[in-house]
Chain A
C-alpha cells in the first residue's frame, strides 16, 4: 500500500465562507477516505473528521486555506474536497449523499 502525503492551498470562493454545511460535507468526505486529513485556516488547524474542529476554522470568503492529506487515497481525497469550498450546492449535496 503506497503512503502518500499531499497538500494544496486554495482560496475559499463560497460567498458564505466555510459554513456549517461545508463542514459537514468535508467531514463526510474525510470519513469515507482512508487518509488522514487536515484543514488549515489562518487561525485554526482542524481534523477532517471532527465536525466541531472544522466549525472553528473561521474561514470567510476570500481567505486562503490549506488541505493536507496523508494516506493511500490522499490525492483523490483532495480532488474531492477542493470543489466543496466553491459553495456549489450540487457538490455539497453529492458529498453528503454518498454514504
Chain B
C-alpha cells in the first residue's frame, strides 16, 4: 500500500482499477486475460520480444556505424536485457500462472526492476531506470500495435492516472467509464479539475511523480475529499473506503427527494440555487437536481476541444441546447475566460511570466474583437430562444466593462441591420473576482443588471496565491477574513443598490459556507450540479436569523483555520450531526 498526497479538486471517493497513461499519453491496458487465451498471449509476447529485439539490433548497428562502436554498445545492453532468460521466465510465469495480460506483465515486471534502481541513492543508477522504461515502451509498442489507444475509447469503468491530461483528452472522455482522475501535475484551476467537477467524479491533482510505481489494472482509491491517492490499498483501508463510498451513495439517495422541494429556510425565505456547467450535456444534471437555472455557463470548452476557432454556429448550437433544456429558467453565459495559451491559432505570448496577471479573459477578448464578436453574436442569437444573460469575466476597471458593453452594443446593431432576432433587453452582468472591482462596486452597480462573485479568482487575487502551485496552495483559503470582508462588501453594495447578486465560485457549493453566506445576505447560489442537493438540504434546515448570528460571529474572528472549524461545527449542529 502506498499513499500519495495531492490537491483535492473534486470531491468523493472512487475505488477501482487504474488506467495508467504515461507522459506520452501511452495507455497501459488491463490486467487479466482469459484462461484459454494463455497460449495465444504467450505467442504474442514472444513475437513482440522478437520484433523489439530486431529493432534494437538495427539501432545498434546504425548507431555503431555512424557514431562509433561504444555508442552502439548501449543498445547491445538493451538487447541483452530484453532477451534475458530470467525476464522471459518471469513474464511467462505471470501470464501462465496468474493470467496477466502480456502488457501488464511487461509493465509490472520492468517497473519493478526500475524501482530497484530508483530507490538506490545514486544518480547514475536512477538514470539507469530510464533504460528500463525505454525497453518497456518498446515492448508495449509492439504488444499493443494498432490497439494503442488513448482514453477516448474506454469500455469498462476505470480510474485514470496520468502525468497530465490535455484538454482534448479530457473533453473526449466517456463519462460512463471514467470514475476518477489523478494527475501528477496541475492545480485546482487546471482543466482536469474543472472537467472532473463537471462530471461529478473524484479527482486529485499535483501529486508529484508516481506513475512509474503503478501498472494498469492495479487497485487504486481516490479520495477526492482529502486529496489522497492510495495505491494497492490493504484490506483494512479498502474496507474503510468501501464503507464511506456506500455512505455517500446512501446520502445521495436520501437527498434525491429534495429535488422537487423549494430551497426555503425554516423562516420561509426563498433561496435560488443554480448550477454551474461547462458542457451542454451537464444541463441535464441541473434539471435532474431541480436547479433554478444555470448561474454560470463556462464557455472555454468550445475553444479547448479542437485545433480551430469555434464558428458562430458551434457556439449557437451549444447555447441553444442549454437554453432549450432549461425551458425558460435563466442561463448565464460567461464569455471566454482563459489565456492565449489555450486558444487555438493564437501565438504564444512573448512575455507571459505571470499568466494569472497576464493577457487573459476579458483582456484577451478586448484585444481580439473578431473572436469576441463571434461569441457575442451566437449568444445574442440564442437569447431569442430563452432566458439568456451575458456575463463578462475578470472585469477590473469601469473602462473595461464599458468597452465590453460597447462591443456588445455594436454586435446588436449588426444583428439589427441583418434583421436577426435577439432579446434586446437581455441582462448584462459581470463577475466580481478582482479586489479592484469590489472596491469600485458602488460604481459598477450603476452599469450592470446583475453581479456574480467568482470566489476562486477572488481568493487567489486577494491572498496573492497561485492555487495551481502546490508549494503555496495551502495558503489558498476561502475562509480567510480578508476574503470574507470583500464578499461582505460586495453583498452590501449590491443589495443596497438592488442589483441581483449571485455567487458562482467553489465556495457557494461548499456547505460549510452556506450559513455564513445566507447570514451575509446571499440569496442566489450557483454551484456544480452535484453539490445542489446538499446545499438545498442545508438551506432547508436553517433560519436566516440563526445564519446572521453565525455570520456575525465568523466576521469577528481573525484567522482562516478558526473560522473554518467554527463554520464546520455550526454546519454539523444544523445538520444534527454530533461529530465535531
Chain A residues within 8 Å of B, Cβ to Cβ: 16-17, 19-21, 23-24, 27, 43, 50-53, 55-56, 58, 60, 89, 92-93, 96-97
| Pairs across A and B, CB under 8 Å, 21 listed | A17-B122, A17-B124, A19-B128, A20-B128, A20-B131, A21-B76, A23-B77, A24-B76, A43-B120, A50-B84, A50-B86, A51-B77, A52-B84, A55-B81, A55-B113, A56-B116, A56-B117, A58-B120, A58-B122, A60-B124, A93-B70
Which residues in A have their C-beta under 8 angstroms from that of B269? none
Which residues in A have their C-beta under 8 angstroms from that of B70? 21, 89, 92-93
The residue on B at minimum CB distance from A20 is: B77
A93 to B122 Cα, complex, angstroms:
26
Which residues in B have their C-beta under 8 angstroms from that of A27? 80
A92 to B70 Cα, complex, angstroms:
8
With contact pairs A50-B84, A89-B70, A92-B70 given, residues A55 and B76 touching in the complex (Cβ less than 8 Å)? no
Instruction: Determine how close the nearest CB of chain A comes to the CB of B127; give it in whole angstroms.
Output: 9
B87 within 8 A of A: yes
Which residues in B have their C-beta under 8 angstroms from that of A24? 73, 76-77, 80
B472 within 8 A of A: no
With contact pairs A58-B120, A89-B70 given, residues A51 and B84 touching in the complex (Cβ less than 8 Å)? yes
A17 to B120 Cα, complex, angstroms:
14
B125 within 8 A of A: yes
Interface of B is mostly: helix
A24 to B120 Cα, complex, angstroms:
20
Instruction: Determine how close the nearest CB of chain A comes to the CB of B467; give it in whole angstroms.
Output: 41
With contact pairs A24-B73, A60-B122 given, residues A55 and B86 touching in the complex (Cβ less than 8 Å)? no
Give the interface residue-count category, chain B: 20 to 34
B73 contacts which of A17, A55, A93 (Cβ < 8 Å)?
Answer: A93
Chain B residues within 8 Å of A, Cβ to Cβ: 69-70, 73-74, 76-78, 80-81, 84, 86-87, 113, 116-117, 120, 122, 124-125, 128, 131
In the complex, which of the residues A17, A19, A43, A51 has the most CB atoms of chain B within 10 Å of its own CB atom? A51
Which residues in B have their C-beta under 8 angstroms from that of A96? 73, 76
Which residues in A have their C-beta under 8 angstroms from that of B87? 52
A7 to B296 Cα, complex, angstroms:
76
A50 to B73 Cα, complex, angstroms:
17
B74 x A55 contact (CB < 8 A): no
Which residues in B have their C-beta under 8 angstroms from that of A56? 116-117
The residue on B at minimum CB distance from A92 is: B73
B73 x A21 contact (CB < 8 A): yes
A53 to B81 Cα, complex, angstroms:
10
The residue on A at minimum CB distance from B119 is: A58
With contact pairs A52-B113, A56-B116, A60-B122 given, residues A20 and B74 touching in the complex (Cβ less than 8 Å)? yes
In the complex, which of the residues B84, B113, B122 has the most CB atoms of chain A within 10 Å of its own CB atom? B84
Instruction: Determine how close the nearest CB of chain B comes to the CB of A95; give it in whole angstroms.
Output: 10
A27 to B85 Cα, complex, angstroms:
13
The residue on A at minimum CB distance from B83 is: A51
B77 x A21 contact (CB < 8 A): yes
A51 x B81 contact (CB < 8 A): yes
Beyond A21-B77, A50-B84, A93-B70, list 8 extra A-B contacts (CB 8 Å).
A19-B128, A20-B74, A20-B78, A53-B86, A56-B117, A58-B117, A58-B122, A60-B122
Shortest beta-carbon contacts, A-B, top 3:
A24-B77, A20-B77, A21-B73
Instruction: Determine how close the nearest CB of chain A comes to the CB of B124; give it in whole angstroms.
Output: 6
A52 x B73 contact (CB < 8 A): no
A92 to B116 Cα, complex, angstroms:
25
Instruction: Determine how close the nearest CB of chain A comes to the CB of B226; give it in whole angstroms.
Output: 36
The residue on B at minimum CB distance from A55 is: B128
B86 x A52 contact (CB < 8 A): yes
A58 to B84 Cα, complex, angstroms:
19
Which residues in A have their C-beta under 8 angstroms from that of B131? 20
A19 contacts which of B81, B120, B124 (Cβ < 8 Å)?
Answer: B124
With contact pairs A20-B128, A89-B70, A92-B73 given, residues A51 and B80 touching in the complex (Cβ less than 8 Å)? yes
Which residues in A have their C-beta under 8 angstroms from that of B84? 50-52
A16 x B86 contact (CB < 8 A): no
Which residues in A have their C-beta under 8 angstroms from that of B117? 55-56, 58
Instruction: Determine how close the nearest CB of chain B comes to the CB of A32; give it in whole angstroms.
Output: 14
B74 x A21 contact (CB < 8 A): yes
A27 to B117 Cα, complex, angstroms:
19
A60 to B128 Cα, complex, angstroms:
13
B81 contacts which of A17, A52, A89, A93 (Cβ < 8 Å)?
Answer: A52
A74 to B116 Cα, complex, angstroms:
30
A43 to B125 Cα, complex, angstroms:
13
Instruction: Determine how close the nearest CB of chain A comes to the CB of B75; give it in whole angstroms.
Output: 10
Which residues in A have their C-beta under 8 angstroms from that of B73? 21, 24, 92-93, 96
Which residues in B have their C-beta under 8 angstroms from that of A17? 122, 124
Instruction: Determine how close the nearest CB of chain A comes to the CB of B358; give it in whole angstroms.
Output: 44
